[in-house]
Amino acid sequence: MRIILLGSGSYSGTPKPFCGCENCTRARRFPIYRRTRFSLYLGKLKAIVDPSPDLHYHLEHLNEKVEQVLITHPHFDHIAGVPELQIFEKLTFYSHEETLRVVKWLQEAFVGEKRWEHVSLSFGEWKSFGNFNVLHFRTPHKPGDVAGGFVIEIGGKKIGITGDTGPEILKDEKTLESLTDLDLLVVEMTHRESIPGTHLGVEDALRLVELTKPELAVFAHISHNNYPHEILERKVMERGIRGIVGRDFLHLDI
Ligand SMILES: [Zn+2]
Ligand SMILES: [Zn+2]
Ligand SMILES: [Zn+2]
């Protein structure tokens, strides 16, 4: 099953305008180190997970039809690409009711009439949609009340996406259990150190993978102020984890 990490970065992307840090300076010189805002393409589902503000650039390269859109939470870097989806007449959005409210507002303000459907997901409940099943689980992630991740079952494979999450997820037994037996876990690894109730640092992202033991882990949503790419790769390797530090347009076959 083909999966493409369209964007591997966090809120401000790398390079962040006017920033002179090592990662930003390097990304300006060598495009392979650029990180656009987080987004994922699931080929079999023709689905985008999190239409980021860089969606136009992502679609331009992807050049494939999208039919479904799953959104983890209504923060700018995960939802601002909704108006760019206007090139698709028919779409189905899946998310929590609160997130769908923002989707509908963006549609009304910038898109207009379309055959777009909105499917509301409650946290902690599996829902079946014929060829795939989805669990939307809540994550601790400020600011705002609503944030979550997904577990998606499709074609005999099970894919987990943490979305943005604080380190408290490591103590959430129920969520940890839903994240076991995964073929792929896409884990946020935003900063060098965790920020309570907000984001995972490197150590806690690695811990989450050690606790849930997926077949393959991909680390994403990496901020410009995290360690340079090769240092992150070394940290993953030293732990003996089957994991890849994400890059934009990383292709996976699971
Ligand atoms: Zn984010
Ligand atoms: Zn920077
Ligand atoms: Zn967020």
**Ordered domains of the chain (ranges, CATH):** 2-253 (3.60.15.10)
**Which ligand approaches the C-alpha of residue 190 most closely?**
1
* C-alpha span between 41 and 69 (Å, rounded): 9
Q: 76 C-alpha vs ligand 1 centroid, how far in Å?
A: 8
| Contact by Cβ (8 Å): 23, 225 | yes
* Among candidate residues 245, 246, 226, the one with its CA nearest the CA of residue 26: 226
Q: 1 C-alpha vs ligand 2 centroid, how far in Å?
A: 34
Give, for all 254 residues of the chain, the pLDDT tens digit: 999 999 999 999 999 999 999 999 999 999 999 999 999 999 999 999 999 999 999 999 999 999 999 999 999 999 999 999 999 999 999 999 999 999 999 999 999 999 999 999 999 999 999 999 999 999 999 999 899 999 999 999 999 999 999 999 999 999 999 999 999 999 999 999 999 999 999 999 999 999 999 999 999 999 999 999 999 999 999 999 999 999 999 999 99
Q: 187 C-alpha vs ligand 1 centroid, how far in Å?
A: 12
State both tokens at 1.
Answer: 């099953």
Question: Ligand 2 being an ion, which residues bring their Cβ within 5 A of it?
Answer: 16, 19, 21, 24, 224
Strand partners, 68: 47, 92
Q: 207 C-alpha vs ligand 1 centroid, how far in Å?
A: 20
**Which ligand approaches the C-alpha of residue 38 most closely?**
1
Q: 252 C-alpha vs ligand 3 centroid, how far in Å?
A: 24
In the prediction, which pLDDT does 77 show? 98
In the prediction, which pLDDT does 237 show? 98
What letters, b where the CB count within 10 A reaches 16 and e where it falls short, cover 177-192? Answer: ebbeebbbbbbbbbbe
| Contact by Cβ (8 Å): 111, 84 | no
